[in-house]
Protein backbone atom coordinates (compact mmCIF):
# COMPACT_ATOMS: atom_id res chain seq x y z
CA UNK A 1 0.00 0.00 0.00
CA UNK A 2 1.38 3.38 -1.02
CA UNK A 3 1.62 6.04 1.59
CA UNK A 4 1.14 9.70 1.00
CA UNK A 5 4.04 11.18 2.92
CA UNK A 6 2.75 14.69 2.56
CA UNK A 7 -0.64 13.91 4.04
CA UNK A 8 0.80 11.63 6.67
CA UNK A 9 3.27 14.22 7.86
CA UNK A 10 0.53 16.77 8.02
CA UNK A 11 -1.58 14.37 10.06
CA UNK A 12 1.18 13.67 12.47
CA UNK A 13 1.93 17.30 12.91
CA UNK A 14 -1.73 18.12 13.43
CA UNK A 15 -2.23 15.62 16.21
CA UNK A 16 -1.87 17.18 19.58
CA UNK A 17 0.02 14.09 20.65
CA UNK A 18 2.72 14.60 18.10
CA UNK A 19 2.76 18.30 17.68
CA UNK A 20 5.44 18.70 20.31
CA UNK A 21 7.69 16.09 18.78
CA UNK A 22 10.92 17.06 17.08
CA UNK A 23 10.68 17.03 13.32
CA UNK A 24 12.99 14.07 12.88
CA UNK A 25 10.79 11.91 15.03
CA UNK A 26 7.80 12.88 12.95
CA UNK A 27 9.70 11.72 9.92
CA UNK A 28 10.63 8.49 11.68
CA UNK A 29 6.98 7.85 12.36
CA UNK A 30 6.04 8.39 8.77
CA UNK A 31 8.73 5.97 7.72
CA UNK A 32 7.40 3.37 10.11
CA UNK A 33 3.78 3.78 9.14
CA UNK A 34 1.80 1.59 6.81
CA UNK A 35 -1.44 2.60 5.19
CA UNK A 36 -4.71 0.88 5.80
CA UNK A 37 -8.11 1.45 4.22
CA UNK A 38 -11.50 0.31 5.42
CA UNK A 39 -14.95 0.50 3.90
CA UNK A 40 -17.97 1.78 5.78
CA UNK A 41 -18.86 -0.50 8.66
CA UNK A 42 -15.76 -2.67 8.39
CA UNK A 43 -14.37 -3.83 11.69
CA UNK A 44 -10.81 -2.81 12.42
CA UNK A 45 -10.51 -4.92 15.55
CA UNK A 46 -12.62 -6.35 18.33
CA UNK A 47 -12.19 -6.48 22.06
CA UNK A 48 -9.97 -9.40 22.90
CA UNK A 49 -8.05 -9.34 19.64
CA UNK A 50 -4.31 -9.49 19.64
CA UNK A 51 -3.07 -5.96 18.92
CA UNK A 52 -1.22 -5.27 15.67
CA UNK A 53 -0.26 -1.69 16.17
CA UNK A 54 -0.99 1.93 16.89
CA UNK A 55 -3.40 3.77 14.61
CA UNK A 56 -3.81 7.29 13.33
CA UNK A 57 -6.93 8.44 11.49
CA UNK A 58 -6.37 10.17 8.17
CA UNK A 59 -9.86 10.13 6.70
CA UNK A 60 -13.30 9.12 7.89
CA UNK A 61 -14.22 8.21 11.44
CA UNK A 62 -13.49 5.29 13.71
CA UNK A 63 -16.14 4.19 16.16
CA UNK A 64 -14.90 2.78 19.46
CA UNK A 65 -17.45 0.78 21.37
CA UNK A 66 -18.14 -1.98 23.81
CA UNK A 67 -20.72 -4.71 23.39
CA UNK A 68 -22.86 -5.96 26.24
CA UNK A 69 -23.81 -9.60 26.66
CA UNK A 70 -27.30 -8.76 25.39
CA UNK A 71 -25.95 -7.08 22.27
CA UNK A 72 -26.42 -3.50 23.41
CA UNK A 73 -23.66 -1.17 22.34
CA UNK A 74 -21.91 1.39 24.48
CA UNK A 75 -20.42 4.05 22.26
CA UNK A 76 -17.20 5.12 23.87
CA UNK A 77 -15.64 7.45 21.33
CA UNK A 78 -15.54 8.57 17.72
CA UNK A 79 -12.10 9.31 16.39
CA UNK A 80 -11.63 11.77 13.57
CA UNK A 81 -8.71 12.69 11.34
CA UNK A 82 -5.74 13.66 13.47
CA UNK A 83 -6.67 11.35 16.33
CA UNK A 84 -4.49 8.44 17.41
CA UNK A 85 -5.70 5.37 19.22
CA UNK A 86 -4.93 1.79 20.13
CA UNK A 87 -1.87 2.55 22.22
CA UNK A 88 -2.90 0.75 25.38
CA UNK A 89 -2.13 -2.68 24.01
CA UNK A 90 1.24 -1.38 22.81
CA UNK A 91 2.31 -0.80 26.38
CA UNK A 92 0.91 -3.71 28.30
CA UNK A 93 0.92 -6.31 25.55
CA UNK A 94 -2.60 -7.34 26.31
CA UNK A 95 -5.55 -7.68 23.92
CA UNK A 96 -7.72 -4.84 22.64
CA UNK A 97 -10.10 -3.33 25.17
CA UNK A 98 -12.81 -2.25 22.73
CA UNK A 99 -14.26 -2.81 19.31
CA UNK A 100 -13.23 -0.45 16.53
CA UNK A 101 -15.23 -0.08 13.31
CA UNK A 102 -15.05 2.22 10.34
CA UNK A 103 -17.67 4.90 9.99
CA UNK A 104 -17.66 5.87 6.35
CA UNK A 105 -14.62 5.18 4.20
CA UNK A 106 -11.61 5.30 6.43
CA UNK A 107 -7.91 5.76 5.82
CA UNK A 108 -5.59 4.86 8.63
CA UNK A 109 -1.94 5.07 9.42
CA UNK A 110 -0.76 1.92 11.11
CA UNK A 111 2.44 1.82 13.10
CA UNK A 112 3.10 -1.85 13.69
CA UNK A 113 3.71 -2.81 17.26
CA UNK A 114 7.32 -4.00 16.85
CA UNK A 115 8.29 -0.81 15.06
CA UNK A 116 6.50 1.28 17.63
CA UNK A 117 8.25 -0.41 20.49
CA UNK A 118 11.60 -0.14 18.85
CA UNK A 119 11.03 3.55 18.33
CA UNK A 120 10.26 4.06 22.00
CA UNK A 121 13.19 1.96 23.11
CA UNK A 122 15.52 3.98 20.88
CA UNK A 123 14.22 7.29 22.10
CA UNK A 124 12.99 7.21 25.70
CA UNK A 125 12.27 10.91 25.58
CA UNK A 126 9.04 9.89 23.88
CA UNK A 127 7.75 8.20 27.01
CA UNK A 128 6.43 11.22 28.90
CA UNK A 129 4.37 12.00 25.89
CA UNK A 130 2.55 8.72 25.91
CA UNK A 131 2.24 8.75 29.67
CA UNK A 132 0.30 11.97 29.35
CA UNK A 133 -1.83 10.35 26.69
CA UNK A 134 -2.70 7.50 29.05
CA UNK A 135 -3.34 9.87 31.93
CA UNK A 136 -5.72 11.85 29.83
CA UNK A 137 -7.66 8.73 28.98
CA UNK A 138 -7.76 7.79 32.64
CA UNK A 139 -9.11 11.15 33.63
CA UNK A 140 -11.73 10.99 30.95
CA UNK A 141 -12.73 7.55 32.18
CA UNK A 142 -13.01 8.78 35.75
CA UNK A 143 -15.20 11.62 34.61
CA UNK A 144 -17.43 9.21 32.80
CA UNK A 145 -17.62 6.89 35.80
CA UNK A 146 -18.60 9.75 38.08
CA UNK A 147 -21.21 11.03 35.68
CA UNK A 148 -22.72 7.57 35.39
CA UNK A 149 -22.73 7.10 39.15
CA UNK A 150 -24.08 10.46 40.23
CA UNK A 151 -26.13 12.00 37.48
CA UNK A 152 -29.66 11.34 36.28
CA UNK A 153 -30.26 11.07 32.57
CA UNK A 154 -30.47 14.77 31.97
CA UNK A 155 -27.18 15.42 33.69
CA UNK A 156 -25.47 12.60 31.89
CA UNK A 157 -26.66 13.88 28.56
CA UNK A 158 -25.49 17.40 29.41
CA UNK A 159 -22.13 15.99 30.44
CA UNK A 160 -21.77 14.19 27.16
CA UNK A 161 -22.82 17.20 25.11
CA UNK A 162 -20.20 19.34 26.82
CA UNK A 163 -17.60 16.75 25.99
CA UNK A 164 -18.78 16.43 22.40
CA UNK A 165 -18.74 20.19 22.04
CA UNK A 166 -15.14 20.35 23.18
CA UNK A 167 -14.02 17.42 21.03
CA UNK A 168 -16.05 17.96 17.89
CA UNK A 169 -17.48 21.44 18.24
CA UNK A 170 -17.18 24.22 15.70
CA UNK A 171 -17.84 27.71 16.94
CA UNK A 172 -20.35 29.51 14.73
CA UNK A 173 -20.33 33.26 14.02
CA UNK A 174 -23.40 33.61 16.24
CA UNK A 175 -21.62 32.01 19.19
CA UNK A 176 -23.36 28.65 19.00
CA UNK A 177 -21.19 25.53 18.99
CA UNK A 178 -22.21 23.03 16.35
CA UNK A 179 -21.18 19.47 17.03
CA UNK A 180 -19.54 18.21 13.88
CA UNK A 181 -20.81 14.67 14.00
CA UNK A 182 -23.81 12.92 12.61
CA UNK A 183 -25.69 12.60 15.87
CA UNK A 184 -29.07 10.89 15.74
CA UNK A 185 -30.74 10.40 19.11
CA UNK A 186 -30.06 6.71 18.89
CA UNK A 187 -26.35 7.47 18.86
CA UNK A 188 -26.53 9.79 21.85
CA UNK A 189 -28.52 7.15 23.68
CA UNK A 190 -25.77 4.62 23.09
CA UNK A 191 -23.20 7.02 24.51
CA UNK A 192 -24.92 7.47 27.83
CA UNK A 193 -26.52 4.03 27.94
CA UNK A 194 -30.06 5.25 27.82
CA UNK A 195 -32.90 4.64 25.37
CA UNK A 196 -33.72 6.69 22.34
CA UNK A 197 -37.15 7.90 23.54
CA UNK A 198 -35.68 9.14 26.81
CA UNK A 199 -32.99 11.03 24.99
CA UNK A 200 -35.67 12.55 22.79
CA UNK A 201 -37.58 13.79 25.81
CA UNK A 202 -34.53 15.31 27.47
CA UNK A 203 -33.25 16.93 24.27
CA UNK A 204 -36.62 18.58 23.84
CA UNK A 205 -36.45 19.86 27.41
CA UNK A 206 -32.96 21.27 26.87
CA UNK A 207 -34.09 22.89 23.67
CA UNK A 208 -37.07 24.43 25.42
CA UNK A 209 -34.68 25.90 28.02
CA UNK A 210 -32.63 27.39 25.24
CA UNK A 211 -29.52 25.41 26.15
CA UNK A 212 -29.25 23.69 22.80
CA UNK A 213 -30.61 23.85 19.27
CA UNK A 214 -31.73 20.77 17.40
CA UNK A 215 -31.70 19.85 13.76
CA UNK A 216 -32.11 16.60 11.92
CA UNK A 217 -29.24 14.43 13.14
CA UNK A 218 -27.40 17.42 14.53
CA UNK A 219 -27.06 19.25 17.82
CA UNK A 220 -25.71 22.71 18.64
CA UNK A 221 -24.82 23.97 22.07
CA UNK A 222 -26.19 27.40 22.84
CA UNK A 223 -25.51 27.69 26.55
CA UNK A 224 -22.39 25.81 27.51
CA UNK A 225 -22.41 27.11 31.09
CA UNK A 226 -25.89 25.83 31.67
CA UNK A 227 -24.96 22.39 30.34
CA UNK A 228 -21.83 22.39 32.44
CA UNK A 229 -23.87 23.17 35.53
CA UNK A 230 -26.19 20.29 34.79
CA UNK A 231 -23.20 18.04 34.23
CA UNK A 232 -21.88 19.09 37.62
CA UNK A 233 -25.04 17.91 39.26
CA UNK A 234 -26.62 21.29 39.90
CA UNK A 235 -30.04 19.99 39.15
CA UNK A 236 -31.86 23.28 39.16
CA UNK A 237 -34.32 21.45 36.98
Among 9, 66, 178, 228, interactor with its own copies by CB under 8 A: 66
Task: Decide if 156 contacts 74 (C-beta within 8 A).
Answer: no
Q: Does 196 participate in binding its own copies (rule CB under 8 A)?
A: no
Q: Does 118 participate in binding its own copies (rule CB under 8 A)?
A: no
Among 193, 198, 200, 228, interactor with its own copies by CB under 8 A: 193
> From the list its own copies, DNA, none, which binds 184 (C-beta under 5 to 8 Å, kind-based)?
DNA
- Output b/e per residue, 15-38; b: 16+ Cβ within 10 A: bebbeebeeebbebbbebbeebeb
Interatomic CA distance for residues 208 and 152, integer angstroms: 19
Ramachandran region, residue 71 (left: φ > 0; alpha: ψ -120 to 50; beta: rest): left
Quote the DSSP letter at residue 124. G
Binding mask 95-134 for DNA (x = CB under 7 A): ----------------------------------------
Task: Decide if 17 contacts 84 (C-beta within 8 A).
Answer: yes
Q: Of 76-84, 86-94, 182-190, 228-236, which part binds DNA (CB under 7 A)?
A: 182-190
Among 40, 122, 186, 234, interactor with its own copies by CB under 8 A: 234
Task: Pick the closest to residue 26 from 6, 44, 45 (CA basis).
Answer: 6
Interatomic CA distance for residues 198 and 24, integer angstroms: 51
CB-count burial class (<10 Å; 0-12, 13-18, 19+) for 210:
exposed
Q: Does 173 participate in binding DNA (rule CB under 7 A)?
A: no
Among 137, 168, 201, 218, interactor with its own copies by CB under 8 A: 137
Q: Does 153 participate in binding DNA (rule CB under 7 A)?
A: yes
C-beta of 28 vs 185, nearer to DNA: 185
Which residues contact DNA (rule: CB under 7 A)?
Answer: 152-154, 182, 184-186, 193-198, 200-201, 203-204, 214-217
Which residues contact its own copies (rule: CB under 8 A)?
Answer: 66, 68-70, 72, 74, 88, 91-92, 94, 97-98, 124-125, 127-128, 130-132, 134-139, 141-142, 144-146, 148-150, 193, 232-235
Amino acid sequence: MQIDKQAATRLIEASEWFRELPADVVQQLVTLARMKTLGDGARLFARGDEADGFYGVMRGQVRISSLGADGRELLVAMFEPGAWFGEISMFDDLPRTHDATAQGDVELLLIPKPAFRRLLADDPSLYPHFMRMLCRKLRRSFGYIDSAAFLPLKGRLAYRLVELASLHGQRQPDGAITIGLHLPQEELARMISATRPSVSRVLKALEAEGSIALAYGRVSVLDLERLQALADGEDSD
